[in-house]
Amino acid sequence: MALLFVFVLPLVFYLVRIDVPWQALRFLALGVGWAIATLALFSHVAARRLDQRLSVIGASPTALFFGRQLAIISTGLAVAGIYFVLVAVTQDVPRLPAVALLLLTTVLIAAPLGAVVSLVVPRELEGALALLSIMALQLLVDPGGTAAKLLPLWSTRELSAYAIEPVGAEYLHQGVAHFAITLAVCILIAWTASILRLRPVRLHAPDEQQDATPAAGTTE
């Protein structure tokens, strides 16, 4: 039920501002980003002990991390596809392929972003609130300021503007560049942390002489 509400939230974001296409599209992208990031957070937190057990029996931390990311991204793409159809039906978008790119990049960033937040806030409720705070900042800060460009989903502003408004290709280029940098940083942090957390701990072999000496009070 909680995940159902998570996936319905982007629809609420979109319908609230549907009369302003540019804002509706950006609100939708942020809603999808929050939903997928929250799903990733829940998944990584819930599987923490399972991953430790799997790594003990030989599973690769890299395979565990990217396998879970692939599953989350696949789910996110399905959700994004549904909302893309909704936008195509309800809006007259000049550059409809840019909407697909917007939702795709949002999903790809949100999955590792949720994994990064799970490292800092290792509980579901607090982590979801932290992600919601990040999305709120995306809406409240001046999108043209330097601080806004440090936020993970600043690219949604550039790509949504490119999809709706008669702007130049520089918006597309800036959005894609910001997406690529953010994606690389989030994956690198989450992947490295996963490897360090699940790396095997080598135990020293017991001293053979101590093993061969009978314990006190025992007989052959």
Segment 15-60, tens digit of pLDDT: 888 888 888 898 899 999 999 999 999 988 888 888 888 888 888 8
Residue 88 lies in a domain: yes
- pLDDT beyond 50 at 220: no
Residue 213 lies in a domain: no
Residue 178 lies in a domain: yes
Segment 24-33, tens digit of pLDDT: 898 899 999 9
Number of domains in the chain: 1
pLDDT-derived band of residue 213, with 50, 70 and 90 as boundaries?
low
Residue 40 lies in a domain: yes
pLDDT at 212: 52
Rounded average pLDDT over 9-13? 86
Looking at per-residue pLDDT, the higher value among 113 and 219 belongs to 113
pLDDT-derived band of residue 141, with 50, 70 and 90 as boundaries?
confident
pTM here? 0.85
- pLDDT beyond 50 at 219: no
Residue 21 lies in a domain: yes
Structure tokens at 149: 């460009």
pLDDT-derived band of residue 8, with 50, 70 and 90 as boundaries?
confident
Residue 218 lies in a domain: no
Residue 6 lies in a domain: no
- pLDDT beyond 60 at 104: yes
- pLDDT beyond 90 at 142: no
Greatest pairwise CA separation for the chain in angstroms: 92
pLDDT at 135: 85
- pLDDT beyond 80 at 216: no
Helices (H), the chain: 2-16, 21-46, 48-56, 61-90, 96-120, 124-140, 146-149, 155-164, 169-198, 208-212
Closest of 106, 139, 125 to residue 34, by C-alpha: 106
- pLDDT beyond 70 at 211: no
Q: How far apart are CA 7 and CA 167, in angstroms?
A: 31
Domain span at 187: 16-197
Residue 129 lies in a domain: yes
